[in-house]
Amino acid sequence: MGVRIRPMRAADLAAVSSIEKQITWSKRVGSLRKHLAAMLKAREGVCLVAEVDGAVGGFLVGDVAPWEFGEDRQVAWIKVVGVDPRHQGAGLGKKLGQAFLKEMRARGIRRVKTLVEWYSGDLVAYFQSLGFDRAGAIVLERFA
Ligand SMILES: CC(C)(COP(=O)(O)OP(=O)(O)OC[C@H]1O[C@@H](n2cnc3c(N)ncnc32)[C@H](O)[C@@H]1OP(=O)(O)O)[C@@H](O)C(=O)NCCC(=O)NCCS
C-alpha cells in the first residue's frame, strides 16, 4: 500500500465528502465540502489528503488562528480529520497528523489545539498517539 500525504486540491472534494458521509452521522454533511472549496480557493488553512495507491483515503484540515485570548503566539487548530473506514487503522491518520505538525513547526507555531467530543474515545486515542493531552480550558455552550 503506497501512502502519500499531499495538499488537498479542488478535485479531491468529492472523495473527501464521501469519506465524511461514511464516518459521521451529522445532519450537516455537505457543509464541509462548501467550506473546503472556499478555503482552497482563498488558500486558507492547511488542507491535506492521504493518497492510497493514487486515491484519496483520508484528509485533515487545520488552520492558524491569527490571535487568541491568553496566547502571545499564533495557535494552530486541527478542525477535522477523517479516514475512509476501509483504510482506518493503517496509519493514514497518523501520517496526516504528523505532516500537519511538521508544517506548523516549520511555520514557527508552537501550540496546536483541537476539539474532540468527550465521548469520542477513538479520536481521543488518536490525538493522544500524536502527543496531544487534555488542555486546561473547558468549552461552554447553550442553546441559542
Ligand atoms: C480517528 C481516525 C482519524 C484515526 O485515523 P487512522 O488512520 O484510523 O489511525 P492510525 O492507523 O493512523 O492510528 C494512529 C493512532 O491512533 C490510534 N487509534 C486510531 N483509531 C483508534 C480507535 N478507533 N480506537 C483507539 N485508538 C485508535 C491508533 O491506536 C494509533 O496509535 P499508535 O500510533 O500509538 O499505534 C480515523 O479512524 C477516523 O477517521 N475515525 C472517524 C473519526 C471521525 O468521526 N471524524 C469526524 C469528526 S472530526
Question: Does 44 reside within a domain?
Answer: yes
Give dist(CA 20, CA 14) in Å, integer: 10
Helices marked H in the chain — which ranges?
13-23, 31-41, 92-106, 121-129
Question: Does 15 reside within a domain?
Answer: yes
Structure confidence by residue, pLDDT tens digits, 106-141? 999 999 999 999 888 899 999 999 999 999 989 999
CATH (domain of 68): 3.40.630.30
Strand partners, 75: 65, 111
pLDDT band at residue 24 using 50, 70 and 90 as cut-offs: confident
The H-or-E segment that residue 76 falls in is strand 75-83
Distance from the CA of 82 to the center of ligand 1, in angstroms?
9
Write out the three cell numbers for 127. 490525538
- Which residue type, as a one-letter code, is found at position 124? V
The DSSP symbol for 50 reads E
Closest atom of ligand 1 to 84 CA is: 39
Q: What is the pTM of this model?
A: 0.94
Question: Does 104 reside within a domain?
Answer: yes
Distance from the CA of 133 to the center of ligand 1, in angstroms?
15
Write out the three cell numbers for 37. 472549496
Question: Does 140 reside within a domain?
Answer: no
Give residue 63's domain range. 3-129
Question: Does 139 reside within a domain?
Answer: no
Q: If DSSP codes are grouped into helix, strand and coil, which group holds residue 10?
A: helix
Give dist(CA 93, CA 50) in Å, integer: 8
- pLDDT, mean of residues 71-88: 94
Distance from the CA of 72 to the center of ligand 1, in angstroms?
31
Total number of domains in the chain: 1
Question: Does 142 reside within a domain?
Answer: no
